[in-house]
A and B are shown apart, each in its own frame.
Chain A
Amino acid sequence: LAKTTQPISMDSYEGQEVNITCSHNNIATNDYITWYQQFPSQGPRFIIQGYKTKVTNEVASLFIPADRKSSTLSLPRVSLSDTAVYYCLVGDPKAAGNKLTFGGGTRVLVKP
């Protein structure tokens, strides 16, 4: 699975937009980019997934440039409840076992 690099932590304030960039320089042709969110004392939860360009759902947007060597998760108008750890994962969804490799994630703290 492709190795990813993301910031260790980020601080923000309520109502602001939070953008977390993930680097994945050796992403393979069949790899998808997936983001998970983990609240304290809970298991990770799927947020969004994309292959190229832009993907948007009710929770977040995912921007992927043409070279796919990085991606940016955008959380619009965050609230205190968005305080969590966000993980960027890269992998081939058709690979044997659908295994995921979690890095350290980005700890986002939303302040009032």
Chain B
Amino acid sequence: NAGVTQTPKFRVLKTGQSMTLLCAQDMNHEYMYWYRQDPGMGLRLIHYSVGEGTTAKGEVPDGYNVSRLKKQNFLLGLESAAPSQTSVYFCASSYGNLAKNIQYFGAGTRLSVL
């Protein structure tokens, strides 16, 4: 049972480059989330999705785009990477508001933008 899988695990980008982070979950969860975590800080919500084909902005959405074309996948895109986007990115999923707000997290993607 894989749970939430994130790819890649590590990535180094140059300023201005683009990339897509992939999150896949095999728990048939309705809700999916993307967070970023900077050193010594808690997680901040970037975007989230409450179902296939829907997305919404979180606390820090600027510079990122997302897509949820399939229920099991949630993609996070950086169109033009900036050094301020150097961070660890976590994906999470949950059953949705039928359950008690429990999110399941992936192992994270460590991104460095030079």
Chain A residues within 8 Å of B, Cβ to Cβ = 32, 34, 41-46, 49, 87, 91-105
A85: shortest Cβ distance to chain B, in Å?
8
Q: Which of A44, A45, A92, A101 has the most CB of B within 10 A?
A: A44
Provide the bound-state CA to CA distance between A59 and B23, in Å.
28
The closest CB in chain A to the CB of B42 belongs to A102
Which one, B40, B42, B102, B106, contacts A34 given CB within 8 A? B102
Which one, A34, A46, A95, A104, contacts B41 given CB within 8 A? A104
Chain B residues within 8 Å of A, Cβ to Cβ = 4, 31, 33, 35, 40-45, 48, 50, 56, 58-59, 90, 92, 94, 96-97, 99-108
A102 touching B43 in the complex, CB below 8 Å, given contacts A42-B107, A43-B108: yes
Does the CB pair B105–A98 fall under 8 Å?
A: no
Which one, A34, A97, A102, A105, contacts B48 given CB within 8 A? A97
Does the CB pair B42–A105 fall under 8 Å?
A: yes
Chain A residues positioned under 8 Å from B40 (CB to CB): 104
Q: Supply 17 A–B pairs (Cβ within 8 Å), ascending by A.
A: A32-B101, A34-B101, A41-B108, A43-B105, A43-B106, A44-B103, A44-B105, A46-B102, A93-B100, A93-B101, A98-B96, A98-B101, A99-B33, A99-B45, A99-B58, A100-B101, A102-B35
Provide the bound-state CA to CA distance between A104 and B107, in Å.
19
Does the CB pair A43–B48 fall under 8 Å?
A: no
Provide the bound-state CA to CA distance between A91 and B100, in Å.
10
Does the CB pair A32–B31 fall under 8 Å?
A: no
Does the CB pair B105–A94 fall under 8 Å?
A: no
Chain B residues positioned under 8 Å from A104 (CB to CB): 40-42
A105: shortest Cβ distance to chain B, in Å?
6
Does the CB pair A100–B100 fall under 8 Å?
A: no
